[in-house]
Amino acid sequence: MSDTKTARRASLLDRSLSHHSAPVHLILLSDMGFTTMDGLVQLLQLRGVEASEVFLYRMSINAVICFAIMALRDPQSFKLFYGPDAPWLLARAVCSCGATSLAYVAVSHIPLSLFMTLYHLRPFPTIFACYAILGEKATRAQLIASVISFSAIIIVVQPDFLFSRHRPEGDTTAWSTYVGVGVTLLSCTCGALEIVASRKMADTVGWVPMLFAYTALGTVTAPVWILYSGASIKVFDQAGSVPMALWVGLCGMLAQATMILGLQRATGARVAVLGYFQILWAVLWQVVVYANIPNLLQILGTIIIIVAGCWAIVHARRLGSSHGEGLRR
């Protein structure tokens, strides 16, 4: 009886993931996971926990879970790490670690508002890289939606260099700002290449091996980062920090898993455009956690992002699989 129930659940899951709207739901869930994770990381940093320490917990938690899944459910999947896809697994792991660590470095040099604005340029190198390496062409609607959404991001985030006449308190020097901008753009590039690598392995490698490669590399490199930065272990100093760090790992795993599953079913351009919905979850997080009510401009920008994203979704659905989407239906 239990085997029958398990088979039915697996069949239901397969049908759900094969639905034409599955990529949209997966990426929206991924956006929510990443936003929640980032919000929890910010709360931990307010408690004095360094970014490198949080990165170690997130990577190690995910690596242990992925290793257990592979060992218990599909031991043969370990052969992927010395098979034809091994270079792409390594490339994705390096790009993923690079995107994450560079993002943490960037926010230590520039205001968060500037970082968020620049980081949302990522769809553009993603679209270019997917076309140059994979031959995936973005639709006109996706390109237009990307431009509109990025413009709306500026309205929502309201970076200081555009919306403030005075330098904010604690503003960094010009040199540090240049470093922060450059590192942010490198992080965007790594994120774009991560998407390309995920798409390249879409038909041959599952989400667990991809995530394990990334988190295993992160688990190895995180202690080096901690030693280099001189950070000390502070997660045990305050009550509640350990469960929060655990939730960071779980939210990060959910976000990565659903992103990979989405990339197995939609082009990189489509996924990149849907990534703009992260700003919606970010606004909701600010309202719920910090009671920070957005102003009218921010509400307008959020509405524009939603409308542009929905338009791109509807347009992509009309085109169907003519642009290579829905590889695993």
Q: CB neighbours (10 Å) of residue 172?
A: 16
Backbone phi and psi for residue 257, each to the nearest 5 degrees, phi listed first: -60, -45
Q: What CA–CA distance (Å, rounded) separates 157 from 66?
A: 35
Q: What CA–CA distance (Å, rounded) separates 256 from 29?
A: 10
Instruction: Report pLDDT for 311.
Output: 78
Low-confidence ranges of the chain (pLDDT < 50): 1-3, 5-14, 165, 168-172, 321-329
Instruction: Report pLDDT for 10.
Output: 43
pLDDT digits (tens, 9 = 90+) for 292-310: 788 888 888 888 888 887 8
CA distances from 175 to 110, 165, 171, 181 (A): 10, 20, 11, 10
Instruction: Report pLDDT for 317.
Output: 67
CA 283 to chain CA mean position, Å: 17
Three-state SS at 153: helix
Share of residues in the chain with pLDDT > 70 (%): 85
CA 69 to chain CA mean position, Å: 22
Mean pLDDT, the chain, whole residue set: 81
Which tokens sit at 276? 């703009």
Three-state SS at 74: coil
Instruction: Name which of 221, 269, 314, 279 is nearest 34 in CA terms.
Output: 279
The C-alpha torsion from 225 through 207 and 35 to 214, rounded to 10°, is 10
The C-alpha torsion from 220 through 225 and 226 to 228, rounded to 10°, is 130
pLDDT digits (tens, 9 = 90+) for 93-135: 999 999 988 887 887 777 766 777 788 888 889 999 999 999 9
Backbone phi and psi for residue 184, each to the nearest 5 degrees, phi listed first: -65, -45
- What are the boundaries of each domain within the chain? 21-323
Instruction: Report pLDDT for 143.
Output: 85
Instruction: Report pLDDT for 192.
Output: 92
Instruction: Please check whether residue 184 is in contact with residue 106, taking contact to mean a CB–CB distance below 8 angstroms.
Output: yes
pTM of the predicted structure, to 2 decimals: 0.82
